Amino acid sequence: MSCKHQEDLNQAENDNDTEKSEKPVECHSNLEKQEETVKHFATPLTEADETADITEITGLIPGNIRAVTRSELKEQQNEMKVNEALLGGWEPSEIRQQQLEDDNIGKVFAAFESGSQKPPWESISSGTSALKTLWGQWNRLELHGGVLYRRFETNNGQTARKQMIVPKSRTQELLHYFHDVPSAAHLGVDKTLEKLKNGFYWPNMKEYVQAYCRSCDSCFARKPKKESTKAPLGTYVSGEPMERVALDIFDHCH
């Protein structure tokens, strides 16, 4: 064996020993990091930590904190994208003006903004059902940035959100964004209505969504056709006398 070959073998053995000696060091380093992480989370809360405002940390109201699943987080992200893309082109001053000009919203808006009491029933009794619906929700109305909103709360009181009251001139645009655009995925009536309710409201909202979804050509083309349940017409052949008897009864025939 040549001297050169012997030197190469010795160098390879030295490199292998060095690599083996480094692995325990790396493993020991990882263990130290894990121990530091455990100590960090196991450290007792200080008095300042206990008195910290949880809303500043999480943005949630105390008592309403709960785990959020991946599917819920994905839905929230999608809803935010839809609302941001839509509301990005909506100026508050423009929406306010359209609310005031709306035949139903305008009457309630003007009275609410003036700070007066709830209008008497006699003043709106001759109006439309939409006007009466808004009048009935007087105590749930709010003004934000000069725009009229409705405060929505679930029956258990765990969820509360603001819903912008949409003027009639904007309803078709909203229905298009929440049903027709690719991200809306042409969902059915219930899911489309649920997404709309996250930030918007107008009287008879469900009827609008139902009519819009039923008139959607894309949904109609994909909807499976129901098979006919009627039996085909045919001739019944009797095998013996009196097997099949039919009787027509007439009374007071002139």
To which H or E segment does residue 149 belong? strand 147-153
Counting Cα atoms < 13 Å in the Cβ hemisphere of 76 gives: 6
Residues 1-18, mean pLDDT to the nearest whole number: 56
Express each pLDDT in 84-100 by its tens digit.
434 556 888 899 999 99
Beta carbons within 10 angstroms of residue 168's beta carbon: 16
Is the pLDDT at 52 greater than 60? The verdict is no
Express each pLDDT in 173-194 by its tens digit.
889 888 888 877 888 889 999 8
pLDDT category, 80, cuts 50, 70, 90? Answer: very low
Give the β-pairing of 147-153 and 200-201.
unpaired
What's the pTM value of the predicted model, to 2 decimals? 0.53
| Relative orientation angle of helices 105-113 and 129-136, to the nearest 10 degrees | 30
Q: Chain-centre distance of CA 158, in angstroms?
A: 16
Give, in degrees to the nearest 5, the angle at Cα 66 between 164 and 36.
Answer: 130
Express each pLDDT in 108-121 by its tens digit.
999 999 888 899 99
- Which range of 50-64, 67-81, 217-231 scores highest in mean pLDDT? It is 217-231
Residue 196, sorted as left (phi over 0), alpha (psi -120 to 50) or beta, turns out to be alpha
pLDDT category, 201, cuts 50, 70, 90? Answer: very high
Q: How high does pLDDT run on average in the chain?
A: 73
| Residue type for position 33 | K
